[in-house]
Amino acid sequence: MPKVLGLVLSADIAQYNAMVLEIRRAWGSYKHPDFNVLYYYGYGLGFKPAEGTVQRHGDRLICGCTERVDNIMLKTIMTFDYIRRNFDFDYIIRTCCGAYVAPWRLLQYLEDKPREKFYAGKWCKLSENDAAWAHGIGYVLSRDLVELIADNADEVTALGPGRIDDVLVGRFLAAKGIFLTDLPTRPPDYPEPIPANCFLQHFSKDFNEMPALHARTWKGDVEARKREDDNMNCCICDAQEQDQLLSLDCGALEPSSIYKTVKIRSCKNCGHVFNQLTEDEKKKMVDYYREESSVGNLTSPNPDGDIPGSSNKSSLKRYSVLLDAIKPFLKPDDAVLDIGCASGGFLSLLKSQGFNNLFGMDMCDSYMAKAEKMGITVKQGFAENIPFDRKFDFLVADQVVEHLFDPNKIFEEAKRVLNKGGYFCIGLPDADYYAQHCFFEFHWFLLREHVQHFNEPHLRSLAGRHGFTCENVVRSAGAMLNEKIRIPVLTMVFKYTGNCSDVETDFSLRRSIEGYLEKSRAMTKANTDFINELRQAKTPIYVWGMSREFLYLYENTCLRQCNIVGLLDEIPVKQTQRAGGMKIEPVGALPESANVWIASFAHKEVMSDKLRKLGFKGKIL
């Protein structure tokens, strides 16, 4: 998600102050980490900074110039110069206190737009021979254009002394070969009185009508946003009331089907924690698993990581914990179904231990071919709709349930295919221990595939609701990609008894998650400081490793403003994608004497060794 700074042209005049108040109550109150609003003035509000300087008072910027119409361009240039030195943003929208902005729609619109040389707004012209310009009710500029205007103040103002900034910005940019892009049309469900030709628009020339219009449209906007949010009910207790604990822009490669912004919710009724997704985001996740995640895992250059269904060293260690958890209940001739078996690694271990009545299923056909080579019956299907009509004695769903939008469905299917008295083993990340295994800030939420965040009480409650009784609980912490990233695993073995139990309230998980978030925020500063040094040095750098960490930092720090000249990754599917509009190339494209920053934090030592073995003579940052 891009970072957008709203700049509201204001003045210390009664009618303008009344409209600013309405903006603060309406769209200016929109809370999002990627959208902020500033109101900028000339002399006024009891402040008179030195000529040519800017003072900040909360969300108000007071410019050192007299408040006159012919000073609006000067005031805007001073504001541009101030924000480029003091704020992290990708775009600004310069609007006025007589206009209305729909912040989240603006963020959505800008999500896939160029981050450089981008100028958009409502198209206007003074004459046939004049340059087109964007009306001051709301023009959008990418950061580089804000800086270009601030650096060429005299040239801009000379294009029309006394003219308002919207006209002069259009003329100046046209002279530089940068032309206007119209903003998109109004969505069909957008509330009136927004005109159909623009996201942003004056409501009326009569300033006295503004407060009522702002209030009415904001109310309609809130209702429209509620429709868009598409809230998910809590999967444990079905409650609709939730608190949002986090909204985080995680970034994504381009193109990618995975959603960019993770919204972490806590159920007010039972305390369960989960990601909120829209129906569209859920549908796209299926494509992500099949076209990106599975392909990337199968072609990963990491020989030891815990890759789904593999027989890698880390995976085998996790399987041994899983096997120890189920062995007391597993008989030699039991029919066992591995739900989400991937490449069949755990089934292979069971076979080596003398178990032969084995079956597997997975949603991704790219995994299944490998599992089928072991002579095991494997079918393609979803955990919520098990593709078998026969009965089983034992079900295993290891690292599966946390991916499900509605885990109730896997329990309903388990009841259908399990023999009475059969067992269901579930292994998943233990959300109570995220903070103890905090490798990188927000790491467990950057894994957006993990939609549900369970601890033992909540998983026990969900299972009990469907007539499953807990027989065994095992906690472990195994290596994920390597020993640096250890995943806290909760493994629980349930017996199907048919005796349903009530959902229990437990808010300890919420407290654990809040502690984890605090720890993550504290970790952010070190990375931010390092990246800010890179930005200030303007050193040309190559970035190796299109990791979740890189994408998060690219969206949430000034990394995109660094002098990045190349992006590298060894996974073939990533070499077909882009990041920040830049092509991703194999590591062989790295020049022999370049500066390289390894952004796959967990693999820095291994990747550094590989560079040296390749004869790399440059600097590893």
Last residue of a domain, one of 516, 550, 584: 516
Q: Which residue has the tokens 């997975």?
A: 362
Q: Could you tell me which of 183, 30, 200, 191 has the C-alpha nearest to residue 98?
A: 200
Domain that holds residue 566: 538-620
With a cut of 90, say whether residue 108 has pLDDT above it. no
Between 78 and 614, residue with greater pLDDT: 78
Q: What is the percent of the chain where pLDDT is above 70? A: 88
Specify the pLDDT at position 529.
82
- pTM over the 0.75 mark: no
Residue 526 in any domain: the answer is: no
On whether both 212 and 353 belong to a single domain, the answer is no
DSSP-based three-state secondary structure for 611: helix
Residue 27 in any domain: the answer is: yes
Contact of 80 with 153, CB cutoff 8 Å = no
With a cut of 70, say whether residue 5 has pLDDT above it. yes
Q: What CATH code is carried by the domain that includes residue 391?
A: 3.40.50.150
Q: What is the per-residue pLDDT across 434-447, written as a single tens digit (0 to 9) for each?
A: 999 888 889 999 99
Name which of 21-35, 65-79, 81-95, 604-618 the model is least confident about: 21-35
Highest mean pLDDT among 78-92, 206-220, 282-296: 78-92
On whether both 496 and 573 belong to a single domain, the answer is no
Contact of 3 with 251, CB cutoff 8 Å = no
Question: Distance (Å, rounded) from C-alpha 453 to C-alpha 403?
Answer: 9
Name which of 11-15, 141-145, 384-388 the model is least confident about: 11-15
CA distances from 565 to 133, 204, 554, 581, 618 (A): 32, 48, 14, 12, 14
Last residue of a domain, one of 190, 206, 224: 224
User: Model confidence at 196, in pLDDT bands (50, 70, 90)?
Assistant: very low
On whether both 430 and 562 belong to a single domain, the answer is no
Specify the pLDDT at position 256.
86
Contact of 146 with 80, CB cutoff 8 Å = yes
Contact of 469 with 499, CB cutoff 8 Å = yes
Contact of 15 with 48, CB cutoff 8 Å = no
Highest mean pLDDT among 58-62, 101-105, 153-157, 603-607: 153-157
Residue 93 in any domain: the answer is: yes
On whether both 215 and 80 belong to a single domain, the answer is yes
Residue 233 in any domain: the answer is: no
Question: Distance (Å, rounded) from C-alpha 460 to C-alpha 455?
Answer: 9
Q: What CATH code is carried by the domain that includes residue 124?
A: 3.90.550.50
For the chain, the C-alpha Rg in angstroms (whole number) is: 28
Contact of 315 with 307, CB cutoff 8 Å = yes
On whether both 429 and 551 belong to a single domain, the answer is no
Mean of all residue pLDDT scores within the chain: 84
Q: Indicate if the alpha-carbon torsion angle 156, 158, 160, 164 is positive or negative.
A: positive
User: Model confidence at 204, in pLDDT bands (50, 70, 90)?
Assistant: very low
User: Model confidence at 193, in pLDDT bands (50, 70, 90)?
Assistant: very low
On whether both 468 and 589 belong to a single domain, the answer is no
Q: What CATH code is carried by the domain that includes residue 549?
A: 3.40.50.720
Question: Distance (Å, rounded) from C-alpha 439 to C-alpha 488?
Answer: 12
Q: What is the per-residue pLDDT across 444-472, written as a single tens digit (0 to 9) for each?
A: 999 999 999 999 999 999 999 999 999 99
Q: What is the per-residue pLDDT across 163-185, written as a single tens digit (0 to 9) for each?
A: 889 999 999 999 999 988 765 44
On whether both 468 and 545 belong to a single domain, the answer is no
Read off the pLDDT of each residue in 77-100 and give the average, rounded to a whole number.
Answer: 91
Question: Distance (Å, rounded) from C-alpha 295 to C-alpha 287?
Answer: 11
Q: What is the percent of the chain where pLDDT is above 90? A: 43
Question: Distance (Å, rounded) from C-alpha 159 to C-alpha 171?
Answer: 7
On whether both 560 and 446 belong to a single domain, the answer is no
Residue 255 in any domain: the answer is: no
Tokens found for residue 113: 């737009």
Specify the pLDDT at position 516.
93
Read off the pLDDT of each residue in 121-144 and give the average, rounded to a whole number.
Answer: 84
Give the chain's domain count.
3
Question: Distance (Å, rounded) from C-alpha 424 to C-alpha 459?
Answer: 12
What's the distance, CA 204 to chain centroid?
37
CA distances from 514 to 164, 310, 456, 523, 600 (A): 48, 34, 17, 14, 26
Last residue of a domain, one of 453, 484, 516: 516
Facing residues of 382 across strands?
385
Between 25 and 112, residue with greater pLDDT: 112
Specify the pLDDT at position 177.
92
User: Model confidence at 481, in pLDDT bands (50, 70, 90)?
Assistant: low
Facing residues of 35 across strands?
4, 32
Residue 264 in any domain: the answer is: no
On whether both 357 and 506 belong to a single domain, the answer is yes
With a cut of 70, say whether residue 195 has pLDDT above it. no
On whether both 362 and 498 belong to a single domain, the answer is yes
Residue 448 in any domain: the answer is: yes
Question: Distance (Å, rounded) from C-alpha 482 to C-alpha 605?
Answer: 11
Name which of 105-109, 214-218, 335-339, 365-369 the model is least confident about: 214-218
Return the H-helix or E-strand segment holding 38: strand 35-41
On whether both 327 and 397 belong to a single domain, the answer is yes
Specify the pLDDT at position 295.
56
Residue 236 in any domain: the answer is: no
Query: What string of H, E and C letters represents the secondary structure of 210-274?
Result: HHHHHHHHHHHHHHHHHHHHCCCCCCCCCCCCEEEEEEEECCCCECCCCCCEEEEEEECCCCCEE
Q: What is the per-residue pLDDT across 556-574, written as a single tens digit (0 to 9) for each?
A: 888 888 899 999 998 888 8
Query: What string of H, E and C letters represents the secondary structure of 531-584?
Result: HHHHHHHCCCEEEECCCHHHHHHHHHCHHHHCCEEEEECCCHHHHHCEECCEEE
On whether both 326 and 414 belong to a single domain, the answer is yes
